[in-house]
Amino acid sequence: MKIRKVARSEKEIYKLAGWVWENIKDKVGKEAIVIALSGPLGAGKTTLVKAIAKEMGIKDVVVSPTFILHREYPGLDHIDAWRVEDFLEIERLGLAKMLANKHLVIIEWADKFSEEIKKLSTKDTKIVWVKLEYGKNEIERLITVTHP
């Protein structure tokens, strides 16, 4: 299924995150879910992660793990692949364990490793692709969500 939305504010990005969470929340814990985020710098990838974390009831302050690559929250693993050169670096972060724990794993800059991420899809791991792009002005975002 592919959904395309236009968000004209941060509030609308949070609303979209609520929709994404509603569509996956019953699966998290029963199977691993990977949300693979792509889009240019500043398009709202981390904002979307914050919004999903809020929907999950996570009270921690969610920040981008750009320099440490991985942050863990209850039921959520947040990976930033911006500085990653080889998918093996992501695997070394404990990706197999994250998936085995049936967590929600969100990977920013996932398009760098789209082929490797596609291979993660199994009967126990589902991949949701989210692409954020700039719209007609500084605030507007075009968001495409593709999920099984």
- Mean pLDDT of the residues in the chain: 94
- Residue 143 pLDDT class (50, 70, 90 cuts): very high
At 31-57, the pLDDT tens digits run 999 999 999 999 999 999 999 999 999
For residue 65, name the pLDDT band (cuts at 50, 70, 90).
confident
User: How much is the average pLDDT of 64-75?
Assistant: 91
Residue 96 has a CB neighbour count (10 Å cut-off) of: 11
State pTM to two decimals.
Answer: 0.94
CA dihedral 101, 30, 72, 59 (to 10 degrees): -150
Counting every residue, how long is the chain? 148
